[in-house]
Amino acid sequence: MSFNNITTVIGLIGEPFWQDNQERERQRLDERAKAREEERMANRELVQEGLAPRYHESSKAVLKSKELVTQFEKLKQKGSLDKYLKRKNKRLQARDRKRMEEVI
């Protein structure tokens, strides 16, 4: 079975695969926006109470670490955490091998 163009493939499997990726990205961005909004509201409440707002929680490093924690929790619930870690380790080893070849 050979495919001459992508419309043939899309016709066989239904929706194009990139629509799933776009939907996942939209959900991730919505979650980020929701988290930022919750932090803004918390800061507003602190200011109304006469306390200093906490802006350090919105730094990129803190947000990235929170996203990683939620990602690992989701993987753990699905039961695919081991598979993810094996693949990640394999990629890191390949990268290290490539860098070692460049050094030599």
Span 31-44, pLDDT tens digits: 888 988 988 899 99
Structure token digits, residue 73: 């929790």
CB < 8 Å & 24+ apart, contacts of 48-55: none
Residue 58: which residues within 8 A CB-CB, separation 6 or more? Answer: 36, 39
Work out the percent of the chain whose per-residue pLDDT is above 70. Answer: 80
CB 22 within 8 A of CB 10: no
Q: Would you state the torsion angle of the CA atoms of residues 73, 40, 61, 52, taken in this order, to the nearest 10 degrees?
A: -120
Q: Which of 57, 85, 58 is nearest to 71 (CA)?
A: 85
Is residue 1's pLDDT more than 50? Answer: no
pLDDT value, residue 97? 92
